[in-house]
Amino acid sequence: MRRRERRIARVLTVIAGLLGGLVLALVAAGLLATWIITLVIEARYPPAGRRVAVEGGHLAVLEAGPGEGAPSRGTVVLLHGASANAMDPMQAIGRRLAGDGFRVLSFDRPGFGYSDRIAPDAASPAVQARLISEALAAMKVGPALIVGHSWSGALATALALDHPERVAGLALLAPVTHPWPGGSVGGYAAWYRSLPGRMLLTLATYTVAAPLGLAYLDRFAEVVFRPQGLPEGYIDGARVPLVLRPSTFGANLRDLDGLYAFLQAQSPRYRAITAPTVIVAGDADPVVKTDIHAAALAREVPGAKLVVLPGIGHMLQYVAADTVVAEIEILAARERAGAE
């Protein structure tokens, strides 16, 4: 009996060793694939703008329209949402606004595109607002029209609250602005924030996230565009694969993870916003619920204008670009009239 038990133990040891070796081989393959994918992505989508020095690092910015000191209809600053970069809003509405005579600056948020993450607490919209404000000061940009999409609804409102001297007006597109039902509870959130959850997520970020993300990127993008279809050439034109690099993928997750708690603290302050504000959202948005965020913000910001587009989803800067550009131009005219 003892001999049999020893044989079973040896077999189990061999099996465990084989499984361990297989796991290590898969991890090594994932690491190698992620490294290669990152190199290919950065070669395909190299830096396209300039980098502006701020305390602790640099922010990357794309520019279009009249240059510094040239006559213009005003400066528009574009702030992208989650899983994106500066090229996303620039190709959607930035170049069009530049063609209409605006100086357009589109920032890679800290940790995205080719901006440094800079600060350990850069997941906070308040920290990102401080860094954007520093960059605008370094570029000698006076009060500008701030356009924030989705996640950057929290960032744009933080700019207006904490750095009002930088903000001539706010145009918020499908903005995230308020805590949402069930956002801070649930077994998933508890697991995600646990040590084992963090370790597994970090491992996945450096092994399987990039290969799987690359394979399913079109499907993920289609979900965000619903109920409208994915525009042809969007993935490549908006340089979406940049988010699959491990450092950016991790920054994106941390930004999303900390957003709920940040909005709990910031949302009671919205009545203090003094900048002229327009909020544009779709009533069919499956990602950011308009009644929870856009409609609530419009009730709280003094004088805010709310535009709700029937049948339009989350990516309205693409699928309803005419309306978005028109509202930004109306806001610019309103701001100029107020200044005069």
In a domain? residue 135 = yes
pLDDT of residue 287: 95
Distance between CA atoms of residues 110 and 178, nearest Å: 22
pLDDT of residue 183: 72
Q: Tell me what the mean pLDDT of segment 146-166 comes to.
A: 98
- Containing structural domain, residue 252: 50-339
Tokens of residue 200, six digits: 């597994």
Mapping DSSP to helix (H, G, I), strand (E, B) and coil, where does residue 205 land? Answer: helix
Q: How many CB atoms lie within 10 A of CB 198?
A: 12
At 279, give phi and psi (nearest 5°). Answer: -120, 125
pLDDT at 166 over 80: yes
Lowest mean pLDDT among 40-44, 139-143, 226-230, 242-246: 139-143
pLDDT at 186 over 50: no
- CATH code, 160: 3.40.50.1820
Q: Does 43 or 21 have the greater pLDDT score?
A: 43
pLDDT of residue 152: 98
pLDDT of residue 195: 76
Which residue type does 179 have? P
Lowest mean pLDDT among 204-208, 227-231, 266-270: 204-208
pLDDT of residue 182: 77
pLDDT of residue 196: 77
DSSP class of residue 286?
A: S
pLDDT at 12 over 50: yes
In a domain? residue 261 = yes
Tell me the whole-structure pTM to 2 decimals.
Answer: 0.92
In a domain? residue 69 = yes
In a domain? residue 11 = no
For the chain, where are the E strands, in sequence order? 50-54, 57-64, 75-79, 103-107, 144-149, 167-173, 277-282, 305-309
Lowest mean pLDDT among 11-25, 61-75, 99-113, 119-133: 11-25
Mapping DSSP to helix (H, G, I), strand (E, B) and coil, where does residue 121 land? Answer: coil
In a domain? residue 40 = no
pLDDT of residue 199: 84
Please report the DSSP string for 311-339 in residue order: T--S-HHHHTHHHHHHHHHHHHHHHHHHH
Total structural domains within the chain: 1
Distance between CA atoms of residues 255 and 83, nearest Å: 10
pLDDT of residue 187: 47
Distance between CA atoms of residues 278 and 334, nearest Å: 11
pLDDT band of 335, cuts 50, 70, 90: confident
pLDDT band of 69, cuts 50, 70, 90: confident
DSSP class of residue 171?
A: E
Distance between CA atoms of residues 326 and 330, nearest Å: 6
Rg value, the chain, Cα: 23
